[in-house]
Structure 1
Amino acid sequence: MPRRRAVGRLERLCLENVAAHMQGLWAKDYAERYLDGEEAPFFRFLLGPFEHLAGPLVHELLQLMGGSRRLTRAMLHLLLVPHLTELSLRTCPSLVSAAIAHMIAVRCKNLSSLDLHGCSRIPSATLVDLLEGLPSLTKLGLSETQCDTRVLSAVGSSCRRLRELAVSNCKRLSAASLLHLAYDPFTASFCCPRLQVLSVEGLEPTAGSHDLVGALVFLLLALPSLKSLCHCLASRAVALIHTQRFEGAPLAPGFPSLEELVRGRRPTHLGQEHCRITLPLKSLAEVGEPLLPAVSAVCPDLEEMAVLLGDSPGVGHRFRSWKTLTHLTLDCEEKRGLGELVPQLVGLGAQLHSLSLGGFSLEEEAAFHTLMSCCPTLRTFSASLTPPVAWGADEWQPASEALLEASSLRPLKLPRLQAFRLLFAPCDCSSSPPEAVVLRASLVSLLQHAPHLETLALVCLPFSLDEVFERALEPSGAALRHLQRLSLSHSDVSPRTIYQLLSSDNQLSHVALGGCPGIHRRHHSELLRVVSQQGLDVGITWD
């Protein structure tokens, strides 16, 4: 059966008890006597119970209070203790002001991780002072803040140990600002030598895209440890490094030219004819299909890639050149048949841990089974598919042929699969639902032979799922034992199947049934009554 309600960890229960009494007990004296005093923001530390609480527990308490919207200014003052090494204030950005930033700078000098995502009330000058006093930071989040060129310059010159930085959607940043992160023109020295992950999403070019692409090229060449650069133009920057045609990407005065950076990256023991530059990038998103050859040449060690497929024939015929690729996302701008992808995954599929597909059409039922057979080591799979022009039975194989093919299918053995999501675009309700014999048999086989499946989503499937689950759960308890989260939104499923799942051996904690035509309000109420009566720790949503 699904998980029964269990007693929480003693540690968590204690923290929840503290959280429940923060206003009336732990923060009462400070809030009444000191909070609005002139000296309050300048207290180096506050004597109180939280100075004796371990740093990770203080951070967990902050997240608990912030996530439940119970955190106040007085409580935040008390919880900014000197032994914090990790601090995230993204759950309470409205409380974070210049005074709070000053407190952090004075009290929390041991921070290695700081997340100020959305804290837009801190002035940029205050951010500069804060970051100059935190040289031990290895992870920093400044997305949606007043971060500007001065702040990035402070990060570059002061945070020498930084490994991860997020400055997405900062309206005061420009392409030229990025240069100061990697190079200090006043000391003529490079910065952030350990930076591995950089997110600058939302940054727009000021004139065309040449200035921003040039700045991204500068970062890729000037940051020797960079493994992930999150921006929609990053793949174009990689392609520009491949061609080395930098005439249209000038930089601001005081910074080394892109040509100089290229010369600095070339191996000194090789001649000019052997000077191909490669980057240590492990992750790259929004790679246009025409850019694949250049990306393959410059980034041979990619592990994660998202590709936008155009309307050219064939699908990514160069994927197999990446021997290290384990996470692949493919999105089609023009509809393509899922069967086109199968030849490309014959060699590549065996090394994939994650596969995500969008915009493909399932014209042939067997294509799904063949594709999944090519990827035996998958841990996560997600596909958003479009149906044929009409879902009527005539668009699929005749029932007799489909039954014959379904009976000959090999088992889909996916021993490592943990998350599976299959979504169909809404179909034409005027046509009759398909038999989908082969597809249903494939789903049954997958559910029976994925022993570690934890998350399952079958959304908007146009045929009944009752038989799929009935067959998958035979013999009783043999499949879905580790299932925790289940979504059947907008799919045809009856209450009988949900009761069967609630009585089976699994770890269900959440079931989503929104938009299911076979589930009505009375069914939802009865399911909730059964869950409560049996003491199950399962949430069932429906609308």
Structure 2
Amino acid sequence: MPLFRALDEQAGVKVQPRRRKGFGRRAQDDSSVFSLKYLCLSNVADNMKDVWVKDYADNYLDQYTFRYIMGPFNILPGDLIEELMLLLCSRKQLSRAALHLLLVPQLRGLTLEKCSALVTPGLCAHIAARCQGLFILDLSGAKQIPSKVLCETIHRLPALRSLSLAGVPCDGSVIQTIACCCRSLKHLDVSRCHLLFPAALLPLGGVYPASSSSSSSLSSVSSSALPSITPAPCPLPLSSLLALDIGFTEQGEDSTVAAAYLLLSLPYLERAALEGLSQACCLLEQEEFSRADGFAEREGVPRLEEVWRERIQWQGKTSEDVASGERGDEREEEEGMYLEEDENDTARDEKFSFQSQTEGKSEFLSHSGLVFQLKDVRGVTSDSLQSLGRLCPGIRSITMNIDGNEHSSGRGRRQCLLDLQTWSGQLQTLSFHCNGPLADFLLPLQVAGSRLISLSLDGVKTSPHSPLLEVIRACPRLRDLLISAEPPSLPQEQDENDQLDNVALPQLPHLCSLSLSFSYEHSQMKPVMSWMSLKKVLRCLLIGSPLLEKLSLVSLPCPLDCVLQDTLQSVNLNSPDVPLGRLERVDLKRTDVQMITVKSLIQLNKRLKHVDVSYCWQISQLQWSQIKRARKVEVVWV
């Protein structure tokens, strides 16, 4: 039976360093052997429901409110509690009572995204009372938390460094509370918060209206929701801000101007997903500050030109400090302090790399000398890439939306090719959202794909002559390849030369995740086999990618079973690089794969955990029921 005592009487608990890697299976080849830590945590998880959770739920859950629970979990290090929560969540065994028991003071990370239904105002009160040392809090998807409760919870968590509120009813009062109380915050995610408007984000950068009553975006803030807080004029040290799809309506010029304010007022920002971000770069690069005058007057904030001048002065002072070496010792101390923290915690030190980022790229820079530290941008459009390149020469990851009309005229392809040259040789992640033909992406990838480790093409159109092999050749270092496409509208003739030539075919030896998904009509049981030469590409990818861990081939417009059989027949068990030998998850929905092939995949390696063969017309329910009992692999079939 658990014992209980007040929070101020708790014994001191030594907080262990945060883990850097996950737990679970061993890294050795025999991945069926589990670590001792995993087995111990698994045993605790197995006994929680029938022992501790049952006792607490029967005797205390809805009868008492405890500020602190002294039980079997308060003596465990915080990182083990985090791993136990993840294990319970993966098994769908994390209950409200279990959460109450696991909310211990030494907890440093709490991620409830996958069990957001458990997040209630009552649970938030427990978090605020018991876990005031939290560094990481993820409440994404918790739709039943009002903004007042969020404000009260965040007000009690001043140590937060990462906060995720995606899809939560978050409004301007919550942003004000974050800006005033979470002065160490490095990462904030407020994506899909439809009660939040772009202007309400300005306090994050220390931009406040002269009079709160004159600000329409902040007029709804309740004083009771902000207990004893004072606006902080300094910006948060944010290195990551994700705020796409906010507000109920299209914001237009407001989102562009608000993004411009945020870019100028958040000097350590490295990752940004903002509405109107690329257009904001165009506004700043061309110094069209008059476009923001109406916004500034309506919101009661300083004019954009004033904020721009302050940023230019700050950047100049920073460059002088670097040149004179006045802060060399301070930088060494900061590196030591944040050695065990997240990679984003080095954002402050990155300001010393302005000169190295811009070497050899003077022809791309803006004439004012303004440079942002952005390395990862999302939701940008192709029409403003040139200005984005001038202000952000250090970008390594970009997610781009390309207008279909521009693409159909060829303008999008040429402009994209020209502007991607700014980051040639340094881009690592590239994602396109466009309904144009796959062939239009070949030239941009040949320009920027030499160092890509992740490529995503969403919504592209294909034909039997789409140059997929050439795309693979242009990106030899890929670790993740995701293509979501429309299948060819015209069938390919059957006399296509489909002979393997392993010498000429490109390979992706570092590829770990492969996803090829084709759209289909729900009325069709089988996809139309209209791209027969795709089989050669699949053989190339499967045989030439021995490190594959995740494989998703959905609704392919070509036969797949023969390709998998050919790949399995080419396996040399004495070789250290066995094709398909490291698979952990396989998704083969709506393909012609047969059960004998699935059995061969399962027998080939011991790492396989999940196989999805839903709507595979060659597999019967009897075959599925037999293999479901054969081995500890989750096989899904509908």
Instruction: Normalising by structure 2, report the TM-score.
Output: 0.73
Counterpart of 1:234?
277
1:306 corresponds to which of 389, 392, 399: 399
- The amino acid of 1:259's aligned partner reads E
Q: Structure 1 residues 440 and 298, CA, compared in 2 at 3 Å: closer, same or farther?
A: same
1:458 corresponds to which of 550, 553, 562: 553
Distance, in Å, in 2 between the alignment partners of 1:450 and 1:403 is 20
Q: Structure 1 residues 129 and 426, CA, compared in 2 at 3 Å: closer, same or farther?
A: closer
- The amino acid of 2:236's aligned partner reads P
Is 1:198 aligned to residue 241 of structure 2? yes
Distance, in Å, in 2 between the alignment partners of 1:542 and 1:430 is 15
Counterpart of 1:420?
514
Q: How does 1:316-395 map to 2 (within 5 A)?
A: 316-317=416-417, 318-323=419-424, 324-333=426-435, 335-336=436-437, 338-365=438-465, 367-393=467-493
> Post-superposition shift, 1:506?
6.3
Distance, in Å, in 1 between the alignment partners of 2:582 and 2:440 is 33
Is 1:277 aligned to residue 370 of structure 2? yes
Distance, in Å, in 1 between the alignment partners of 2:254 and 2:580 is 52
Is 1:475 aligned to residue 570 of structure 2? yes
Q: Structure 1 residues 174 and 370, CA, compared in 2 at 3 Å: closer, same or farther?
A: closer
Contact 1:135 1:158 in 2 (8 A): yes
Is 1:141 aligned to residue 173 of structure 2? no
> Post-superposition shift, 1:108?
1.8
Distance, in Å, in 2 between the alignment partners of 1:346 and 1:65 is 45
Distance, in Å, in 2 between the alignment partners of 1:422 and 1:70 is 33
> Post-superposition shift, 1:409?
6.5
Is 1:80 aligned to residue 103 of structure 2? yes
Q: How does 1:514-525 map to 2 (within 5 A)?
A: 514-525=614-625
Q: Structure 1 residues 162 and 278, CA, compared in 2 at 3 Å: closer, same or farther?
A: same
Counterpart of 2:200?
177
Unaligned 5+ segments in structure 1 are none
Contact 2:73 2:104 in 1 (8 A): yes
Q: Structure 1 residues 493 and 227, CA, compared in 2 at 3 Å: closer, same or farther?
A: same
Distance, in Å, in 2 between the alignment partners of 1:430 and 1:161 is 54
- The amino acid of 2:306's aligned partner reads E
Describe the superposition over 1:341-373 as per-residue Cα deviations: whole angstroms up to 9, x where unpaired: 323322322111111113334335471112211
Q: How many residues matched?
A: 523
Q: How does 1:9-408 map to 2 (within 5 A)?
A: 9-22=35-48, 25-27=51-53, 30-31=56-57, 34-36=60-62, 40-41=64-65, 43-65=66-88, 70-183=93-206, 185=208, 190-204=233-247, 208-249=251-292, 250-251=295-296, 252=298, 254-266=300-312, 267-268=315-316, 274-310=367-403, 311=407, 312-313=409-410, 315=413, 316-317=416-417, 318-323=419-424, 324-333=426-435, 335-336=436-437, 338-365=438-465, 367-393=467-493, 398-399=495-496, 402-403=497-498, 407=501
Distance, in Å, in 2 between the alignment partners of 1:387 and 1:273 is 42
- The amino acid of 1:51's aligned partner reads N
Distance, in Å, in 2 between the alignment partners of 1:137 and 1:430 is 50
Distance, in Å, in 2 between the alignment partners of 1:430 and 1:137 is 50
Describe the superposition over 1:90-119 as per-residue Cα deviations: whole angstroms up to 9, x where unpaired: 445454444433333332221111222344
Distance, in Å, in 1 between the alignment partners of 2:526 and 2:588 is 22
Q: Structure 1 residues 518 and 21, CA, compared in 2 at 3 Å: closer, same or farther?
A: closer
Give SS of 1:450's match: coil
Distance, in Å, in 2 between the alignment partners of 1:4 and 1:287 is 44
Q: Structure 1 residues 4 and 345, CA, compared in 2 at 3 Å: closer, same or farther?
A: closer
- The amino acid of 1:481's aligned partner reads G
Distance, in Å, in 1 between the alignment partners of 2:101 and 2:600 is 50
- Higher mean alpha-carbon deviation, 338-347 vs 292-301, is at 338-347
Q: Structure 1 residues 321 and 161, CA, compared in 2 at 3 Å: closer, same or farther?
A: same
- The amino acid of 1:81's aligned partner reads V
- The amino acid of 1:25's aligned partner reads V
Contact 2:194 2:247 in 1 (8 A): no
Contact 1:419 1:454 in 2 (8 A): yes
Contact 2:195 2:248 in 1 (8 A): no
CA RMSD of the aligned region, Å? 3.3
Distance, in Å, in 2 between the alignment partners of 1:154 and 1:50 is 31
> Post-superposition shift, 1:195?
0.6
Contact 1:339 1:364 in 2 (8 A): no
> Post-superposition shift, 1:452?
0.8
Q: Structure 1 residues 282 and 54, CA, compared in 2 at 3 Å: closer, same or farther?
A: same
Percent identical residues: 32
- The amino acid of 1:459's aligned partner reads V
Bigger relative contact order, structure 1 or 2, given CA contacts below 8 A and separation 6+? 1
> Post-superposition shift, 1:505?
4.6
